[in-house]
Amino acid sequence: MTPTTTAAFDESALVEKARAGDAQAFTELVNHYERKIYRLAKHITQNDEDAEDVLQEAFLKAYEHLDGFKGDSKFYTWIVRIAVNEALMKLRKRKGDRTVSLDEPIETGEETVQREIAVWEDNPEQRYSRTEIQQILDEAVEGLKPDFRTVFMLRDIEELSTEETAEALGISIPAVKSRLLRARLALREKLTRQFRRKGEDVFAHL
């Protein structure tokens, strides 16, 4: 049943129909992507109401500016960029947080941020259930800085390519790689402090 559904979803065809005024086609696009966009917005804003607002505003703006979508990239990449911008605006209005800018330059010398990360003596799955490990990981992700968290979400959770992530966020490919590395290192540090054990890397069990 799932393969049939996947085969039936033709993003480019739906976009063309939506641009021609087919409201049902746009609704299909919303239904296909709304869970991913909500999850992304929730991880950035860390607030259910803000995430819901971002979801609504992102698709509303996409609908209003559909004529401006040239189809050079995937529709999903385009809606992700709109959603990220909306989510970051929510953060700025709420906190005036200076860490939420995705435009600030970050050096890309990845070798300079390598460091020794302690490992744990026990297999974490021997101490925690998979659900508990997932909860610990979710909390660690939420603790990342917004710019690192967003890149991590798009690359490692939503599985966008490096190029798609760069396009969605309006940053360079080296910046994506640098921020992703920093996010992963930060997560390892957070998880190391959480488990305070030596042993296998928890990432091997997720």
Rounded to whole angstroms, how far apart are CA atoms 203 and 181? Answer: 14
Class at the top of the CATH hierarchy for domain 2-97: mainly alpha
For the chain, where do the domains classified as CATH 1.10.1740.10 start and end?
2-97
- Do the beta carbons of residue 150 and residue 102 sit within 8 Å? yes
CA-nearest of 201, 156, 161 to 183 is: 156
**Amino acid letter for position 137:** L
Count CB atoms within 10 A of the CB of residue 77. Answer: 19
What are the CB-based long-range contacts (under 8 Å, 24+) for 26-29? 26/63, 26/66, 29/75
The string of pLDDT tens digits covering residues 138-166 is: 777 888 888 888 898 888 888 888 998 99
Asked whether the beta carbons of 162 and 90 are under 8 A apart, the reply is no
- Whether residue 116 is predicted with pLDDT greater than 60 in this model: the reply is no
CATH 1.10.10.10 boundaries in the chain: 110-205
Per-residue confidence (pLDDT) for residue 206, from 0 to 100: 46
Per CATH, the architecture of 110-205 is what?
Orthogonal Bundle (1.10)
Structure tokens at 14: 């739906």
Does residue 120 sit in helix, strand or coil? strand
Q: Is the pLDDT of residue 131 over 80?
A: no
- DSSP letter at 170? T
Q: What is the pLDDT of residues 2-36, one digit of tens each?
A: 443 444 678 989 999 998 889 999 999 999 999 99
Task: Write the pLDDT tens digit of every residue in 171-187.
Answer: 899 999 999 998 888 88
* Amino acid (one-letter) located at 194: Q
Under 8 Å between Cβ of 102 and 170: yes
